[in-house]
């Protein structure tokens, strides 16, 4: 079937605006992860959803960041009052339960002017 | 904080040569994975090695794990220009609840 999809692929916004980034995981994958990658850097973990369990939000950098996962499938990462340092590629990944290979989407490149 | 340290940061080789990339860590792991990233977008999983395994092969890839030295190596044999990419090691630390920790990556350039 289809892989992980993310939308939009690119987003340019002005400082102070809110943005929503969407992730559609692979069907049947109960685990979903959000990461942030700044230019030339590694992946920074943001948040992890596993089934109906409470999400692991330990990586969210500030209370301007939040994420939801509705119906155990699609997830939305919301960044409120964006700052220039939020500019990065936001990557989503999903995996099967108890299987630790992660399948990544193509990412959303966020640019905050 | 827990993180894999990759070495070297950048590697440039001629097509046909072998490429060796290393990853070291400090606390115990359940498994170690290698991923590849092209053009700064999505990552592709290459290979996973569990803490009780010492070596795994997949095509031209060979991964070793030495838990006593807390290090792993990824060897790409007979490299091709298409292998040009960034390579990341990702660690599942013991007790990390399925949360992988990624290193900063190694940039591999394979010259035709």
Using alpha carbons, list the distances in angstroms from residue A63 to A57, A81, B70: 10, 10, 35
Tell which residue, B9, B7, B11, B8, has the closest CA to residue B110.
B11
**Cβ-defined contact of B43 to A43 (cutoff 8 Å):** yes
**% of chain A beyond a pLDDT of 90:** 77
| Two structure tokens written together for A9 | 């692929």
> Is residue B14 predicted with pLDDT exceeding 70?
yes
Which pLDDT tens digit goes with each residue over A62-95?
Answer: 999 999 998 879 999 999 999 999 999 999 999 9
Closest Cα to residue B45, out of B56, B55, B34, B54? B34
Give the chain A residue nearest B91 (alpha carbons). A100
CA A92 vs CA A10, A17, A44, A84: distances in Å: 14, 22, 11, 21
- CB-CB: which of B31, B99, B104 is closest to A42? B104
Alpha helices, H only, chain B = none
Interface contact B88-A93, CB threshold 8 A:
no
Which chain A residues are closer than 8 Å to B3 by Cβ? 42
Q: Can you tell me the distance from the alpha carbon of B102 to that of B105, in angstroms, rounded to the nearest whole number? A: 8
Query: For residues A86 and A77, is the Cβ–Cβ distance under 8 A?
Result: no
* pLDDT for the residue numbered B33: 94
Encode pLDDT of B24-43 as tens digits: 999 899 999 999 999 767 89
Which of A36, A58, A102 is most worth mutating to test chain B (most B CB atoms within 10 A of its CB)?
A102
Nearest Cα residue in chain B from A100: B98
B47: confidence class by pLDDT, cuts 50, 70, 90: very high
Beta-bridged to residue B75, according to DSSP, are: B20, B62
């Amino acid at each position: 079937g289809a892989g992980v999809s993310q939308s939009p692929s690119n987003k340019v916004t002005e400082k102070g605006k809110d943005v929503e980034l969407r992730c559609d995981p692979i069907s049947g994958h109960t685990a979903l992860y959000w990461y942030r990658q700044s230019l030339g850097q590694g992946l920074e973990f943001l948040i992890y959803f596993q089934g109906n369990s409470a999400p692991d939000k330990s990586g969210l950098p500030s209370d301007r960041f939040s994420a939801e996962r509705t119906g155990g499938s699609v997830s939305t990462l919301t960044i409120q009052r964006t700052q220039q340092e939020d500019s990065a590629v936001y990557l989503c990944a999903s995996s099967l339960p108890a299987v630790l290979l992660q399948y990544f989407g193509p990412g959303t490149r966020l640019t905050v002017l | 904080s827990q993180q894999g340290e990759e070495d070297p940061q950048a590697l440039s080789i001629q097509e046909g040569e072998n490429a060796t990339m290393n990853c070291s860590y400090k606390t115990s792991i359940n498994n170690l994975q290698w991923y590849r990233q092209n053009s700064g977008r999505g990552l592709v999983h290459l290979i996973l090695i569990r803490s009780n395994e010492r070596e795994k092969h997949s095509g031209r890839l060979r991964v070793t794990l030495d838990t006593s030295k807390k290090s792993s190596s990824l060897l790409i044999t007979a490299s091709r220009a298409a292998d040009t990419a960034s390579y990341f090691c990702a660690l599942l630390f013991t007790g990390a609840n399925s949360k992988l920790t990624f290193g900063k990556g190694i940039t591999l350039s394979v010259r035709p």
